[in-house]
Structures are given as C-alpha cells and as structure tokens.
A and B are shown apart, each in its own frame.
Chain A
C-alpha cells in the first residue's frame, strides 16, 4: 500500500469564522459514523485539513468508496509516502502518475512544500530535479504552471516525504449537525428520503418518524423504512427512527371524517404526532417530501389545512421539484431501489377514490371536533418504538453457516 493517509479539505466551513472548530469536530464525528464498520479510524483534524490514516488496502478501498458521500468535504486526496531519497521519491512519483499515462495530453506541474529545512535540496531545486526526472518518462505531459490538470504535490516533512496527485471532489455541503436537528417524515416512498438527504446536505441532523399501521401494513413495509433510514446514515450521521403505532388514529379518522376529507385529516394527525415527537427530542423543524401538485394532499389548499395544526417550521426541500428530478436524486443516493419495493404504507391503505384537492379547513375541523383525537395522539406518541442507525445487520450471521 503506497498510500499512507487521506487528506481531506474542508468545504464551506473554512468561511465560518468562530464556529469553525465546532464544524471540524462535527465532521470528524460524522466521518467516524460513516465508517463505523471499519472502526477504529485514526483521524487527525487540523485547522485547514483532516488526515485519516490508512492502515490497509481494505480500509483504503472502503474509504475511497464512501468518502465522496460525506457532507462537509470539499475534496480529498490519497497521500503516498516514502523515505527521503531521490531515487525512491522518483519511483513513487512515477507510480502515482501511472494513472495518467494513457491520456493524450496532460498539463502538469510539480509543487514542492518543504517544512523540513534540513533537506539537502531547496524547494526550487527539488521541483526542477523531480520535473526533469519525470518528464522524459511521460511524453504526454506538458508543463503548465497555471491551472495544470495534474499537480504532483511533494511535501518534505520531518518524518518522511508525502506525495499526492489526485484530487477527488467531495459531496460539499456542510457537516451534518452543524445546522441543528429536524424530524423527517419518512413514508417509504421515493420522495421523503430525498428530502432528508437534501436537508442533511445543508448540515441538518435528521431523525425520522414513520407511521406504522399494522395489520394493514406489513413488517416488510416497516423493514423498508428501516433500510431507508439506514441508507441515510452513509452521508455521515446517525439517524434515529421513531415508529408510531398509527392504526388506532387512522381508523378513528376514517370513522369520524367523510371519505373525501379523510386524507387531509389523516395528514393533520400525522403532523400533530410528529410535532409532539419533535418537541420531545428537541428538534427544531419538520421535514417532509411534499412536492407541489404531486398528489391531492399536496395542493396549496391542502398544505394550508394540514399545516394549520402547528407553527413549527415545516421544511419542504422538494416543494418545487419535478418527479423525474427527484427520482434522479434517489437513484444517485441509492434509495430508489429500496423505495420502489411494492408494499402498502399507511398513506395508501385507506385512500379515498376522490379526495378533495381543495379541502376547507373549517369543514375538516368541524368533523374532527366530535372525536377526542388528542388522547389518541398522546397514546401514539407514548407507544412509539425507537431504532438507531447505522445498525449492524443480524441477518448476516443468521445465514453465515449456510453460505
């Protein structure tokens, strides 16, 4: 393994002044969460960079695969190292640059940073020396000092020589947790995980809430939601999932409210439950995957009626997004395949044939007023189950001796 560490460059947070320290430590924690399965990682966080030590090829491969997902990283580079010997340095440089040999024409430069002042060659000498050794080996390289495609960076540090050439773009955004916590309404469909992802990218820590209506909805549907919650952890954060037993409330709504308004009322109950849970866990907002005009409950009139139950900020990152664009993101972040598994969820089981797209708030309130919903809501909130992700899969062990 020629690579010794991975250098991580911070993104937006380098502009955040006094909060920077907090951001960096959050990013470090988040990197740990994302790689819990290959823990422990040796991470060194400095003011402008973070370094992860590479212990072996397996860890390196996992890091290279998943780091591009972690928010708050501008870019990263695998860093190789060798002893302070010109021949060894040259050989290492050639090995690192091997990837670019097949390309047609590459603009190139050597960049030297020397912190070890005792090294016999000074910065310019080393730069010239390495350039002169390398260029004949790569006939397709052309030196360009300003904005070269490939810059071989050589650092002469006290303990060794460090080299890198590759700069891999990170996910950008902000480290999750740097912008507070919100509660995501996670249905199991395509939209809500995408909404969660987009908020996470802005640094919002996400806990999720799911409404579970057994026996109408199955364990499969619940498993799907757990899988989705687990998927979201790969962007660098823990995710807790609150599962609300919703059957009782849902049946009560069906009994109390006329068919064409039951959808609106059901959504209002969900919002009330979510808001109670939000309050208990100290989250500041509620995130939904609602997108304007997608279904009956997502018209402005409908949203008004639903939103009326709370003054908590309801964050709807997908409100103006087209379905196709949402699907594209879902595919990119790897939730699509899980979302399209065909299990009934609480939103589909009692769907009326023609729900009102312009429900009148007063009417909905009128029908709801005959039932003691608050009691049912309180019971649902209290009887919630909590799951924490990332979760080690027990299933793997179950099959281990068979395979």
Chain B
C-alpha cells in the first residue's frame, strides 16, 4: 500500500509506540498521587512537558496537554472567549478554517459573540488589508490557521501577528496542526502568536494526543472542570503515556524537519510538473510556494470519489480534500471559498506526504495515475 493521506493521519512511529507501551507498563501510576510511583509518573510528565516547551520555545507552564487538535482549537476559542468577554465579544477568523474552529465560532455566535470571517483569494490566502480593516478595540480573538489542511495554503501569520499586536488587545490563536514539523513557527517573541494548537497524530504520534501552547501565562477559562489537573485548565487524570508519545513524536518531527521538507518540496515540484502535462484536464489547487507536504488537484469532470476508488484498486491511498468532511456529499467549504470553476469543484483530491514516504511512492503514484486516467478518460496526451 502506498499511503499518501498523511494530512488525514499518520502511522505512529515505531519508537513512539514503543515508548507509549513502556510508559503504560512502567509509569502507569496516577501522576497526581503522592506515593513514589505517582511522583515518578509526574516527573516523567514534567519532562515531556519541558521537552515540548523547549521545542515550542515557551515555558513549561505554558504547555497544556489535550486529546488532540480539535480539543486544542475548541479550548482556545471557548476558553479565550469566556475569559475575555469583559473586554468585548468580537472574534475574527477565516472562511477556510477547520470545522473545529468554524463550529466553535458558530456556537459562540449563537451565544451573542460577533464573528467576522476573512475571505481568501484564489490561492486560499487571506488579505492582511481586510484583517486590518476588521480589527477593532473590542476584538478579543483572532484565529487563523497556519497551513490549510485541504490545499496547503500558507497564511501570513507572522505579519498578521504583528498587525494584531500593534492594533488591539486581541489574542492571536494559530491552528498549527498541519504546519508543525513542516514549517518553522515563530512562537517565542512579543510579536508572535499567543496560542498554538498542535495535534499528535499528524506527526506520527498517537490519535488522541494534542497540545495547546501559550506564549505567556495561560489565560483561558477551562471547559473541563474537576480535579484541577493541567494547571486547572483541563481536569481529568493526565494521560502520561500519550503526553510522552506526543513529546517524542514532536522531537523527532522537528529534528527531521529539514530532511523531510526537502523531500516533500522535491515531490511537490515534481507533481506540479507532472500535472502540468495534462494541460486543461487538471487544475492544481496547491501553489508552488504553499506547504510542501500537501498537493491538491482536481480532474475536470471527474468526481473525487471515483478517482479515489480507482487509485485504491491499484493500492494507492489518497483522499478528497479533507478527511474530516470527505463523507459529506456537498463541496467542501474551503473549495467553495476558493471560488473555482464549477467543472473542477467536485473532483478535488489531496495527496499528503509523511515521514514514511519515499521517492518510489511518488513514482508509483504517477504511473498508476496515468493508468487510471486512461481507464476513466480514454486516450490522454500525458
């Protein structure tokens, strides 16, 4: 099987799984217990937190373990909204966010918050001018994803961060779930984002692991309450093995980033050239200067599902633009936001690379893709 759906999820690294199992066997005690075993689990948890803090360039007190990207995004939005409503109820985000942001803002809208959604251009990128125009004194949150999960557009978060911090008091949340380990993130200075969401299973850790990191002291209102774990921000017995797996995968991702990104970039460029050979038949959504690991394209007049099935028969696993919404029949909100030619809308496919892919995978994809195109569209020129 050639797996090219790493933006949906990744296969856990062997060494991450090994650590996960070992922690479950050896350090299973509740880290809140005061007996010796509990103290040891807690020391391990602290080390995992320190490691993540170091990788994210923040203080260990600013790293909150969550059960994944969706929870991190939810916690950021609800938590900030509820803790800052005394300053205002205005929130800015974009049309192309992940549902874990958009559904959260919808709910907040129903609770009396005012939400502005930034539009994107054909490359999927927001306009900083529009952001500047929408920023207000009572804006409490701006939430912008770093890399779009469906087509890999990179948002100008550094400029956005500077603009936000210069203009108002709003907290800037960045959904870095698709960018962590693939792009450098500036998170250590006054002008960077205030909160960052990352997810473990996108970087070869386990599903059910995630982090919400804060640049400074966490100031969100908890929505999971109880025993006061995680600095009182997320109660519930802390999942030490998951935290360790997350920390280990994050370290491996950052260490291997230069090499991986070089590969991904090479493959993406190669595929851009490859798809160009099909002329008008194929529309590539991802741009050459987008995220290196996501390659979205669409075949004129062919439904995405048809292509997925045809490729799957040939042992190539790809997905439609987003795994989270791929079972829905309507066109994804991101594709809608791109305002593209309707003949391409229903056929958007996404290839996404991960640490386990090789040159041979890309070659195999190209070969099988040509075969599928011949099968489905008859003679083609490529």
Contacts and interface: CB of A to CB of B under 8 A. Distances in A.
B47 A399 contact: yes
A338 to B, nearest CB: 12
Contacts of B142: none
Interface stretch (B193-201, B244-252, B374-382): B244-252
Contact of A402 (B35, B39, B44): B44
Contact of B244 (A220, A396, A403): A403
Interface residues of B, number: 16
Interface string A339-376: 00001000000000000000000000000000000000
A58 to B, nearest CB: 12
B36 interface: yes
A320 to B, nearest CB: 32
Contacts of B22: 402
A395 interface: yes
Contacts of A343: 34
Contacts of B23: 402
A402 B34 contact: no
A65 interface: no
A219 interface: yes
A396 B47 contact: yes
Contacts of A402: 19, 22-23, 44, 244, 248
A223 B39 contact: yes
B209 interface: no
Interface in B135-157: none
B39 A401 contact: no
A220 B47 contact: no
A218 interface: yes
B19 A219 contact: no
B51 interface: yes
B39 A220 contact: yes
A220 B44 CA distance: 15
B295 interface: no
Contacts of B35: 218
22 contacts: A218-B34, A218-B35, A219-B36, A219-B39, A220-B34, A220-B39, A223-B39, A343-B34, A395-B43, A395-B47, A396-B47, A399-B43, A399-B44, A399-B47, A401-B19, A402-B19, A402-B22, A403-B19, A403-B47, A403-B48, A403-B244, A403-B247
Interface of A: 218-220, 223, 343, 395-396, 399, 401-403
Given A223-B39, A402-B22, A402-B244, 16 more contacts: A218-B35, A220-B39, A343-B34, A395-B43, A396-B47, A399-B43, A399-B47, A401-B19, A402-B44, A402-B248, A403-B19, A403-B47, A403-B48, A403-B51, A403-B247, A403-B248
